[in-house]
């Protein structure tokens, strides 16, 4: 599920970037049209000895101005349309993140009995922190950690976006590290069976010297 969400969000981000680039281009075109219109001064009657020529030049200039205004208006509408698409795409991505967070949050409640109290109340993440937590694979765990370390949370909230991303990344890394093993459930190693020296020899097979030593050590004949 997380992989599908990432792929869909990546596609939305690409579409949003394209829409923003289109809006930027349309705005540049609109501004260029307006700048050109400002530079084109209306004809002066003193420059035309023939009043008919002056009237014609003035009419042409007026028509060009109306055309320029229409082109500038069209470019402005293109800007609004592209910005609107980018905003709608961003809303879709946000909805996906919030839906994913809701699922992850409910799962975290089953692991942390006090998740609501610790992770979601009593401290205020910055907008950057919120985005980082929403997009993290261990977002609920990061939120719970920050709720347990609220002085740290306040420090990160005051950081710029780059510093905040690094700080959250360090928390993610620490939460992803395997826990050190403190005990093992493996059975104790089996000790090899060692026979006693006395049980290893049959007295009937001992020499006279060995038998005497064995008797002196407390051995007896059955």
Over the stretch 175-205, which tens digit does the pLDDT of each residue have? 876 555 545 455 555 555 554 444 555 655 6
Contact between 139 and 101 under an 8 Å Cβ cutoff? The reply is yes
Report how far residue 101's alpha carbon sits from residue 96's, in angstroms, rounded to the nearest whole number: 8
Does the predicted model carry a pTM greater than 0.75? Answer: no
Handedness of CA 76, 79, 81, 83 (dihedral sign): negative
Report how far residue 175's alpha carbon sits from residue 213's, in angstroms, rounded to the nearest whole number: 68
Report how far residue 155's alpha carbon sits from residue 167's, in angstroms, rounded to the nearest whole number: 10
pLDDT tens sequence across 31-70: 888 787 777 788 888 888 888 888 888 888 888 888 888 8
CB atoms within 10 A of CB 170: 10
Nearest CA among 188, 36, 18, 162 for reference residue 90: 18
């Amino acid at each position: 599920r997380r992989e599908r969400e990432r792929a869909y969000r990546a596609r939305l981000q690409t579409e949003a970037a394209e829409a923003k680039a289109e809006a930027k281009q349309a705005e540049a075109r609109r501004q260029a049209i307006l700048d050109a219109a400002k530079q084109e001064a209306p004809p002066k009657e003193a420059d035309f000895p023939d009043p008919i020529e002056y009237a014609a030049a003035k009419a042409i200039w007026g028509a060009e101005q109306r055309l320029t205004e229409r082109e500038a208006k069209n470019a402005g509408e293109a800007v609004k349309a592209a910005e609107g698409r980018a905003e709608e795409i961003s809303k879709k991505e946000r909805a996906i993140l919030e839906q994913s967070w809701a699922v992850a949050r409910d799962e975290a409640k089953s692991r942390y009995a006090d998740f609501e109290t610790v992770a979601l109340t009593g401290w205020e993440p910055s907008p950057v922190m919120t985005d980082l937590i929403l997009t993290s694979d261990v977002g609920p765990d990061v939120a719970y950690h920050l709720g347990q370390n609220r002085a740290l949370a306040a420090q990160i909230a005051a950081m710029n976006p780059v510093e905040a991303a690094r700080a959250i990344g360090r928390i993610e890394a620490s939460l992803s590290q395997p826990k050190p093993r403190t005990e093992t459930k493996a059975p104790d190693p089996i000790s090899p069976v060692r026979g006693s020296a006395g049980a290893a020899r049959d007295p009937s097979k001992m020499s006279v010297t060995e038998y005497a030593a064995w008797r002196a050590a407390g051995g007896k004949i059955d």
